[in-house]
């Protein structure tokens, strides 16, 4: 959410930002907010005037009573009562306008960074750089679930019977590989100086609306029936929520955290869940990184965060590239974002395995996350980035380490987490 003062002073800039994001249908919101804001300020001024009148009259009551002028005092009391009635109605109007302004402001997208390329959707994202040589072997690489099944590592049929499409059982070596990648990613980030956290996996609605737009909420979140609780779609939600309504001590910044959690997503929309596979699913686990920092430091942190993901994937011998997300592909709260994509030798193309975002002060404004400054309090900046999400990452791992005989080589950095296992061999062998 942007600052209403900024909107008052720069309405054309806010509208231009909407056009850059191809959200022309939201342009009317700017004028609607300005009209409501004008009415709200008039009502507040009237309230101040009424309170001033009441205070002046109230001081007269005591004087009249001391002088024994009870009739005059009673007349003043009636005037005060009338003012109180007017104030009550005025305060209702204030609440009404404030609520309407808040609702509309929550729909206005964050101001995107000047460097963000213009484009309607993810098809117009721009490649930044490749890391590692994308190799396509001379032999055929099977579909990832076929590789897992050859290792007796996945059971989709049982998961469908138990839960439906979009779920899975991981077993044996694949389950262990999954946990090993998560553990390695955790230690990788701890070694970067991040604090390890395991957050709540359910959050209240006022946290959900603080960390994401209404559109994202509807498309992603599962609600717990009969409770004001939602299952998290990523640990970023509860990790940023941790700072809700807090005034942070400047000397303790930045907060750099890496969090583990299961993630739950509806996956509504054009993509949907996969019938056969673990690329787009309802449930997965993820290691995340989150930063809460000074506004002037957020873009330096942004570059650090995505570079950590690249470094982690390269340490696992997986080629990756970074993509700059275009304006139309940015969620409303994001000012700048890039995707990390891993090479798929089977498909001979890259696919998304992580996303890094700078939300500047958009989440902080919604959640009331401020920093105590010498000249007053101000809003923090928040960032998040995927360290690794193993089900999707496993696809890249298995394809890039698949050997002609069907075995999977394990990179040296994972040997300690795999109990010294260096190669996974198909059970048929």
Q: Which of 281, 325, 320 is nearest to 126 (CA)?
A: 325
What is the CB neighbour count within 10 angstroms for residue 193?
A: 8
CATH fit for domain 122-424, picks 1.10.10.10, 3.30.930.10, 3.40.640.10, 3.90.420.10: 3.30.930.10
Cα angle 263, 22, 40; round to 5:
85
**pLDDT given at position 63:** 67
Predicted pLDDT of residue 374: 87
- Tell me how far apart the alpha carbons of residues 119 and 327 are, in angstroms, rounded to a whole number: 6
Instruction: Confirm if 245 and 379 have CB atoms less than 8 A apart.
Output: no
Name the fold adopted by 4-105.
Helix Hairpins (1.10.287)
Q: Which H or E run contains 19?
A: helix 11-20
Q: Residue 402 forms beta bridges with which residues?
A: 408
Give the tokens for residue 206.
């006022």
CA end-to-end distance (rounded Å), the chain: 57
Length of the chain equals 429
Domain boundaries, the chain: 4-105, 122-424
User: Per-residue pLDDT for the chain (429 aa), expressed as one digit of tens each?
Assistant: 899 999 999 999 999 999 999 999 999 999 999 999 999 999 999 998 898 888 888 777 766 777 777 777 778 888 888 888 899 999 999 999 999 999 999 999 999 999 999 999 999 999 999 999 999 999 999 999 999 999 999 999 999 999 998 899 999 999 999 999 999 999 999 999 999 999 999 999 999 999 988 778 888 899 999 999 999 999 999 999 999 999 999 999 999 999 999 999 997 655 656 667 888 889 999 999 999 999 999 999 999 999 999 999 999 999 999 999 999 999 999 999 999 999 999 999 999 999 999 999 999 999 999 999 988 999 999 999 999 998 889 999 999 999 999 999 999 999 999 999 999 999 865
- Backbone conformation region of residue 285, classed left if phi is above 0, alpha if psi is from -120 to 50, else beta: beta
Query: What share of residues in the chain are helix, strand, coil (percent, to 5)?
Result: 45, 20, 30
| Structure confidence at residue 272 (pLDDT) | 57
pLDDT of residue 273: 62
Beta bridge partners of 231: 202, 222
pTM of the complete model: 0.90
- Helix (H) / strand (E) element for 298: namely helix 298-315
């Amino acid at each position: 959410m942007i600052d209403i003062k900024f909107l008052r002073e720069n309405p054309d800039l806010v509208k231009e930002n909407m056009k850059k994001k191809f959200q022309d249908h939201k342009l009317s919101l700017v004028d609607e907010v300005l009209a409501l804001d004008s009415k709200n300020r008039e009502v507040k001024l009237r309230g101040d005037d009424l309170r001033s009148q009441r205070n002046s009259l109230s001081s007269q009551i005591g004087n009249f009573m001391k002088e024994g002028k009870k009739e005059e005092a009673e007349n003043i009391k009636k005037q005060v009562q009338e003012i109180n009635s007017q104030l009550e109605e005025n305060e209702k109007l204030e609440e009404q306008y404030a609520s309407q302004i808040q609702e509309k402001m929550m729909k206005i997208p964050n101001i995107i960074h000047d460097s963000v390329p213009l484009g309607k959707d993810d098809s117009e994202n721009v490649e930044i750089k490749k890391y590692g040589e994308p190799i396509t072997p001379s032999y055929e690489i099977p579909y990832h679930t076929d590789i897992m099944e050859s290792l007796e590592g996945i059971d989709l049929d049982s998961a469908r019977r138990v839960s439906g499409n979009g779920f899975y059982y991981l077993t044996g070596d694949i389950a262990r590989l999954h946990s090993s990648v998560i553990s390695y990613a955790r230690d990788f980030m701890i070694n970067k100086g991040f604090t390890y956290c395991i957050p709540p996996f359910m959050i209240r609605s006022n946290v959900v609306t603080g960390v994401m737009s209404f559109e994202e909420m509807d498309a992603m979140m599962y609600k717990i029936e009969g409770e004001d609780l939602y299952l998290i779609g990523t640990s970023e939600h509860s990790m940023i929520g941790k700072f809700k309504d807090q005034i942070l001590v400047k000397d303790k910044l930045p907060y750099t955290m890496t969090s583990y959690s299961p993630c739950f997503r509806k996956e509504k929309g054009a993509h949907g869940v996969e019938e056969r596979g673990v690329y787009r699913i309802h449930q997965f686990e993820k290691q995340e990184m989150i930063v809460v920092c000074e506004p002037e430091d957020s873009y330096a942190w942004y570059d650090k965060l995505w570079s950590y993901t690249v470094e982690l994937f390269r340490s696992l011998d997986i080629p990756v590239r970074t993509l700059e997300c275009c304006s139309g592909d940015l969620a409303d709260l994001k000012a700048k974002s890039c995707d990390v994509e891993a090479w798929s030798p089977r498909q001979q193309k890259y696919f998304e395995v992580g996303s890094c975002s700078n939300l500047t002060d958009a989440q902080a404004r919604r959640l009331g996350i401020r920093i105590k400054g010498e000249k007053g309090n101000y809003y923090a900046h928040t960032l998040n980035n995927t360290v690794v999400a193993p089900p999707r990452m496993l696809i890249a791992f298995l394809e890039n380490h698949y050997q002609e005989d069907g075995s999977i080589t394990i990179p040296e950095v994972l040997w300690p987490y795999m109990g010294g296992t260096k190669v996974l061999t198909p059970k048929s062998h």
